[in-house]
Amino acid sequence: MLLTDLKLTSEYLNLDEIFYHKVNPNPLKDPQLVSFNKKAADLIGLKHQEANSQTFVDFVNGSNIIPDSTPYAMCYAGHQFGFYVPRLGDGRAINLGAIKGWHLQLKGAGQTRYSRSGDGRAVLRSSIREYLMSEAMYGLGIPTTRALAIISSEQQVIRAQWEKSSIVLRMSPSWIRFGSFEYFYYKDDHDKIEQLADFVINESYPHLKGDPDAYLKMFEEIVISTAKLMAQWQAIGFNHGVMNTDNMSIASITIDYGPYAFLDDYDFNYICNHTDREGRYSFGNQPKIGEWNLAQLMQALSPIIDSDRMTPMLMRYHKIFQTTYLSLLKNKLGLYSDYDDTKLVSELFELLQNQPIDYTYFFRTLSHYQGDRDALLKLVMMKKPLARWLDIYDERLELEFLPPKERNSKMLQTNPKYVLKNYMLQDAIDEANSGDYSLVDALLNIAQHPFDEHPEFEHYAGATPDEYKNLKLSCSS
Ligand code: AMP
Ligand code: MG
């Protein structure tokens, strides 16, 4: 399909006007295409040749609004760092409509009613980070929004310094957040909570339509899938950094990529967000915060669902998280038979916590393990604890049915060779800021194929260089 054949729908605009603000994008001057994501284009059936057309660049820039598209920003609230903020909303994101179940949204396309003091813009740095990371999560099999393209402009905006502005076209099966419900709960507008719940069921949980307990079951599914999402984040070593309730998706996918990071050396207490002084959103706190956020959602849904019926569901969260997390870790270790490996796993994590070991590189190296310990022992300063752990691991492997070679090949599909660490992204951002976008495209390819070998990028496959380890990033983007 060419852009001219694209038909976008906007069911959301059937809701009352309080849910949105119809607003046209404010295009950037002289936009240039930075990157085009063919895989995302395939999702909406858009032909790749469009990447070369000016009409497509204008589409991403919001200056080419296709017929039948009515751009709008969405209203929501949220708990930010534990405190309720009654009105947030899309302050710099403008929705164009949906196609094939994907809602297209321009992030950085100018101010809306919800911009508060913000300029409505996104800088090239943050757009590249969002674009690449959402594709990396997709490549790792973790539920996430996607991104179709980035454009950039010489037009500058002020952050800590002047930076190039940009727009990223993001796509999601839903842009409804926990905070979308909170907005109406704290306004005491129960009728709107019901309207929104019906909308969410229709959009994200259509199998529940017509069920007399649809609202309750929707909540139950959100609890289960959020617990599983948190387990996936923890197992892969992803720190989101800003788990405010407005950044929690009602479809339980990863959204709003800000100051995130993949772990370099394993550290349970790692905080990627520089403004998060107390570590509320530290890596290790994420599962607990997921539960806290669900409790806020439960509160917001209480006018339409009996809390006594929701509470037992929320109480299952911890168990679902634990079970999923353990099973993902067992897969990372190549342990497929049904034994309780809790102790083996916790001993490994104690060891990882107690000395600097690159999380991703460790598991990738372990994926080649067939008894020769040299490669693994080289990764650590203190050899003894790892050697002792490998003794127990060896014993445990004896109980597995899969021959070592097959175990290795399964583990190599579970433990990525590449995750997009912040220093790699920074390389791509630095080059992009001087006009060379080739590393953005190369990292896009790596992001989408993280388990493959990419010989020309071997230098990105090892432990993070010391000077770039465990950096903190600022929220301002
Ligand atoms: P975030 O931390 O990016 O999820 O954003 C939190 C809230 O601030 C959302 O309501 C955003 O729309 C809004 N926001 C962030 N940056 C800007 C900006 N530059 N201009 C307007 N609104 C913004
Ligand atoms: Mg947000």
Task: Write the pLDDT tens digit of every residue in 422-457.
Answer: 999 999 999 999 999 999 999 999 999 999 999 999
CB atoms within 10 A of CB 476: 14
Query: 92, 112, 256, 473: which to mutate for ligand 1, most atoms within 8 A of CB?
Result: 92
Whole-number Å distance between alpha carbons of 10 and 21: 13
Which ligand 1 atom is the nearest neighbour of the CA of 247? 4
C-beta 119 within 6 A of ligand 1: yes
Taking the CA atoms of 64, 68, 69 and 73 in sequence, report the sign of the dihedral they define. positive
Contact 74, 168 (CB under 8 A): no
pLDDT tens string for the chain (477 positions)? 999 999 999 999 999 999 999 999 999 999 999 999 999 999 999 999 999 999 999 999 999 999 989 999 999 999 999 999 999 999 999 999 999 999 999 999 999 999 999 999 999 999 999 999 999 999 999 999 999 999 999 999 999 999 999 999 999 999 999 999 999 999 999 999 999 999 999 999 999 999 999 999 999 999 999 999 999 999 999 999 999 999 999 999 999 999 999 999 999 999 999 999 999 999 999 999 999 999 999 999 999 999 999 999 999 999 999 999 999 999 999 999 999 999 999 999 999 999 999 999 999 999 999 999 999 999 999 999 999 999 999 999 999 999 999 999 999 999 999 999 999 999 999 999 999 999 999 999 999 999 999 999 999 999 999 999 977 787 667
Q: From ligand 1's centre to the CA of 438, what distance in Å?
A: 29
Compute the radius of gyration of the chain from its Cα atoms.
23
Whole-number Å distance between alpha carbons of 293 and 368: 39
Strands 32-36 and 146-158: antiparallel
Q: From ligand 2's centre to the CA of 418, what distance in Å?
A: 26
Which ligand 1 atom is the nearest neighbour of the CA of 76? 10
Which amino acid is present at 18? I
C-beta 120 within 6 A of ligand 1: yes
Provide the whole-model pTM.
Answer: 0.97
Query: Which ligand has the nearest atom to the CA of 118?
Result: 1
- Of 283, 268, 255, 266, the closest CA to residue 142 belongs to 255
- Of 282, 249, 286, the closest CA to residue 170 belongs to 249
C-beta 476 within 6 A of ligand 1: no
C-beta 89 within 6 A of ligand 1: yes
What distance lies between CA 405 and its chain's CA centroid? Answer: 33
Whole-number Å distance between alpha carbons of 58 and 167: 11
Question: Residue 232 is encoded by which pair of tokens?
Answer: 């996936």
- 103 strand-pairing partners: 98, 172
Contact 392, 347 (CB under 8 A): yes
Contact 140, 236 (CB under 8 A): yes
Q: From ligand 2's centre to the CA of 131, what distance in Å?
A: 15
Q: From ligand 2's centre to the CA of 91, what distance in Å?
A: 9
- Of 369, 357, 365, 364, the closest CA to residue 464 belongs to 357
Strands 102-107 and 93-99: antiparallel
Whole-number Å distance between alpha carbons of 127 and 318: 34
Three-state DSSP state, 208: helix
Whole-number Å distance between alpha carbons of 477 and 464: 24
C-beta 258 within 6 A of ligand 1: yes
C-beta 92 within 6 A of ligand 1: yes
- Of 290, 265, 268, 264, the closest CA to residue 279 belongs to 268
Contact 90, 180 (CB under 8 A): no
- Exposure of 275 by Cβ count < 10 A (0-12 exposed, 13-18 middle, 19+ buried)? middle
Three-state DSSP state, 35: strand
Please give the positions annotated as active site.
246
217, 324, 413 from 139: Cα distances, Å: 30, 19, 11
Which amino acid is present at 44? I
Q: What is the DSSP string of 137-153?
A: HHHTT--B-EEEEEEEE
CA-nearest residue, atom 17 of ligand 1: 118
Contact 301, 184 (CB under 8 A): no
C-beta 121 within 6 A of ligand 1: yes
Q: From ligand 2's centre to the CA of 33, what distance in Å?
A: 24
CA-nearest residue, atom 11 of ligand 1: 91
Q: From ligand 2's centre to the CA of 399, what distance in Å?
A: 46
Query: 23, 87, 114, 115: which to mutate for ligand 1, most atoms within 8 A of CB?
Result: 115
Runs of H (alpha helix) within 237-366: 286-301, 307-315, 317-333, 342-354, 359-366
Contact 44, 102 (CB under 8 A): yes
CB-proximal residues (5 Å) to ion ligand 2: 247, 256
pLDDT of residue 475: 65
Q: From ligand 2's centre to the CA of 283, what distance in Å?
A: 18
pLDDT of residue 22: 98
Query: Which ligand has the nearest atom to the CA of 85?
Result: 1
pLDDT of residue 110: 98
